[in-house]
Amino acid sequence: MSGGSGDSSPSSGRASFSSLSGLKDLELSSESGCLSIVVLGASGDLAKKKTFPALFHLFQQGFLQSGEVHIFGYARSNISDDGLRERIRGYLKGASDEHISQFLQLIKYVSGSYNSGEGFASLNNAISENETSKNNKPGSSRRLFYLALPPSVYPSVCKMIRSYCMNPSSHSGWTRVIVEKPFGKDLESAEELSAQLGELFNEQQLYRIDHYLGKELVQNLLVLRFANRLFLPLWNRDNIANVQIVFREDFGTEGRGGYFDQYGIIRDIIQNHLLQVFCLVAMEKPVSLKPEHIRDEKVKVLQSVTPIKHDEVVLGQYDGYKDDSTVPDDSNTPTFASLVLRVNNERWEGVPFILKAGKALNNRKAEIRVQFKDAPGDIFKFLSAIVLLLPMVSKTLFLFHPDKGKKQGRNEFVIRLQPSEAMYMKLTVKKPGLEMATEQSELDLSYGLRYQDVKIPEAYERLILDTIRGDQQHFVRRDELKAAWEIFTPLLHDIDDGKVKALPYKPGTRGPPEADELSKRMGYVQTHGYVWIPPTLSKF
């Protein structure tokens, strides 16, 4: 049984999915049969800004064919098919009006509440009618439900889907459900939600989306780590001093204050997006690329993380955050956090992983920075001195630089997820020219330069396609989610109880200076005086 068939036996146990082969699921990508994609919460922000545009891009690239795909929007608002189409139109870019209209014609709207049988019975009728009109082979329908909804309604919506809208056959075709974060607020609530959904769907039918797993350079991490001999022997405590995984945004909560205040930056970004990146950086090599093998390794590394120490956490809240009328005046919710994860295993003991995220900062970026230890037995430290060969004197004249005796800058391998995807290795090289001096430079792979004709797909586009293909590699498994909440729940409860306070910081800055002090204390050595001249490509 897989998510590709047999919808009838929900399961919550790890054993029930461990034996499934990802490749078997991938083989199902060649399945045919009517594909119905249902966006629940179709009138909302996520649906408009991300889900429908992602479906449109798939349509543009020929992955969704008019002859076999139909898209349904479902929400409470009382609007017509055209009403929904017009709401979406403005978010579809980069194509002719005609092409956009062709896509919009695939969309129908069904209105109903999230807990009434009536609404979901009409939805099922609409799906079934369409399947019949498309001469679908009985029982071969593929039904994908995308929950672009607040998690509070997941249980009732899933019950309704289960009762009214399943693919009618238990032999072929499938029903799959994509659920968005937040999956709970702490370990207990996440487990409760998992148990509720687990009663209704088995693990192969549930796709817990984390859009960071759909980003190009996140998907590249396994290839980088395990297909390059260069990295294999270096990726460990013998060589790596510290790792930083950083998310920065240069805008605040922007009208989402009420929502954000219930979660804070750790639940919004660190517990999910940054932790998923952490897993891919820190996990051991999986037995194969099968989704279960990869997810097994992610769970293992999460389970090896030791409890977070309060003195390895810095929280911040930007000035003005509480001006939002939906945010309580006494809110201690962090809009910035920098915290250290430590992995108790042979590879990583002693290496701090600094996970840092913040809103309303001085710039927008997401990156992984792997800093290597100093080169031992440095014979070049006197060469950071300037040494000149002067032709007018018969012997070499050494003119010492004020940095004389200073250590070389450390090697850093930086993977920039966004903006402008790039990876670069900071190296010490001989400064070109007659001087015998060293300087910091880089081996640079900037995607905008190297892959000029390639359009990098949006994360959601890729992940929806994976769901249609039945590939769960880039989705969060139930035990992975549990292990993630186990790491953060004690700290989150202490923050909620006011035991760890958020420090104020000014919008447009780097966040509280204490965060940079924490990085320094963790052994991060900043390279000073490193100047990078961007390639003179206009699009870069």
Ligand X SMILES: O=C1O[C@H](COP(=O)(O)O)[C@@H](O)[C@H](O)[C@H]1O
Ligand Y SMILES: NC(=O)C1=CN([C@@H]2O[C@H](COP(=O)(O)OP(=O)(O)OC[C@H]3O[C@@H](n4cnc5c(N)ncnc54)[C@H](OP(=O)(O)O)[C@@H]3O)[C@@H](O)[C@H]2O)C=CC1
User: Alpha-carbon distance 376 to 429, whole Å?
Assistant: 16
Instruction: Retrieve residue 81's tokens.
Output: 């098919």
Ranges of H-type helices in 418-477: 447-450, 459-469
CB 126 within 8 A of CB 141: no
Beta bridge partners of 340: 354
Q: How far is the CB of 250 from ligand Y (least distance, A)?
A: 12
Set 99, 273, 401, 493: catalytic member = 273
Single out the residue of 378, 516, 523, 525 in contact with ligand Y (rule: CB under 6 A): 516
Instruction: Retrieve residue 530's tokens.
Output: 């490193």
CB atoms inside a 10 Å sphere around CB 285: 13
The one of ligand X, ligand Y, none whose footprint includes residue 532, by CB under 5 to 8 A per kind, is: ligand Y
Q: How far is the CB of 520 from ligand Y (least distance, A)?
A: 8
Q: Rule CB under 6 A: is residue 324 a binding residue for ligand X?
A: no
CA distances in angstroms from 91 to 50, 94, 219, 463, listed in the order given? 9, 10, 26, 19
Comparison of 68 and 444: residue with beta carbon closer to ligand Y: 444
User: Alpha-carbon distance 236 to 230, whole Å?
Assistant: 13
Q: CA 127, 133, 139 angle in degrees (round to 5)?
A: 60
Q: Rule CB under 6 A: is residue 458 a binding residue for ligand X?
A: no
Single out the residue of 369, 410, 462, 477 in contact with ligand Y (rule: CB under 6 A): 369
Q: How far is the CB of 415 from ligand Y (least distance, A)?
A: 11
Single out the residue of 81, 439, 442, 494 in contact with ligand Y (rule: CB under 6 A): 442
Q: How far is the CB of 359 from ligand X (least distance, A)?
A: 7
Closest by Cα among 458, 487, 515, 425 to 276: 487
The one of ligand Y, ligand X, none whose footprint includes residue 369, by CB under 5 to 8 A per kind, is: ligand Y
Q: How far is the CB of 180 from ligand X (least distance, A)?
A: 9
Number of residues in contact with ligand Y under rule CB under 6 A? 17
Comparison of 301 and 522: residue with beta carbon closer to ligand Y: 522
CB 141 within 8 A of CB 173: yes
User: Alpha-carbon distance 512 to 252, whole Å?
Assistant: 15
Q: How far is the CB of 420 from ligand Y (least distance, A)?
A: 6
Q: Rule CB under 6 A: is residue 180 a binding residue for ligand X?
A: no
Comparison of 162 and 369: residue with beta carbon closer to ligand Y: 369
438-446/502-505 β-pairing: unpaired
Which position's Cβ is nearest ligand X? 268
Q: Rule CB under 6 A: is residue 268 a binding residue for ligand X?
A: yes
Residue bearing tokens 């309580």 = 328
CB 477 within 8 A of CB 225: no
CB 448 within 8 A of CB 420: yes
- The binding track of 205-244 with respect to ligand X, each residue x by CB under 6 A or -, is ------x---------------------------------
User: Alpha-carbon distance 85 to 79, whole Å?
Assistant: 10
Single out the residue of 186, 250, 439, 444 in contact with ligand Y (rule: CB under 6 A): 444
Comparison of 249 and 471: residue with beta carbon closer to ligand X: 249
Q: How many CA within 13 A on the CB side of residue 341?
A: 29
Which positions from 333 through 392 interact with ligand X, judged by CB under 6 A? 366
The one of ligand X, ligand Y, none whose footprint includes residue 452, by CB under 5 to 8 A per kind, is: none
Which positions from 181 through 240 interact with ligand Y, judged by CB under 6 A? none
Comparison of 211 and 416: residue with beta carbon closer to ligand X: 211
Comparison of 161 and 417: residue with beta carbon closer to ligand X: 417
User: Alpha-carbon distance 420 to 405, whole Å?
Assistant: 36
The one of ligand X, ligand Y, none whose footprint includes residue 516, by CB under 5 to 8 A per kind, is: ligand Y
Q: Is 480 exposed, middle or buried (0-12, 13-18, 19+ CB in 10 A)?
A: buried
Comparison of 66 and 420: residue with beta carbon closer to ligand Y: 420
Q: Rule CB under 6 A: is residue 424 a binding residue for ligand Y?
A: yes
Closest by Cα among 172, 141, 175, 139 to 160: 175
Comparison of 159 and 462: residue with beta carbon closer to ligand X: 462
CA distances in angstroms from 109 to 86, 90, 96, 380, listed in the order given? 12, 17, 23, 69
Residue bearing tokens 């880039």 = 474
Q: What is the crossing angle of helices 52-60 and 97-104, to 10°?
A: 110
User: Alpha-carbon distance 314 to 112, whole Å?
Assistant: 45
Does residue 99 have an active-site annotation? Answer: no
Which positions from 248 through 267 interact with ligand X, judged by CB under 6 A? 249
Single out the residue of 101, 508, 532, 537 in contact with ligand Y (rule: CB under 6 A): 532
Q: How far is the CB of 26 from ligand X (least distance, A)?
A: 26
User: Alpha-carbon distance 322 to 331, whole Å?
Assistant: 7
Q: How far is the CB of 512 from ligand Y (least distance, A)?
A: 12
Active site residues: 273
Q: Which residues of this chain interact with ligand Y, rule CB under 6 A?
A: 244, 246, 356, 369, 414, 420, 422, 424, 442, 444, 446, 510, 516, 526-527, 530, 532
Q: Which residues of this chain interact with ligand X, rule CB under 6 A?
A: 211, 249, 268, 366
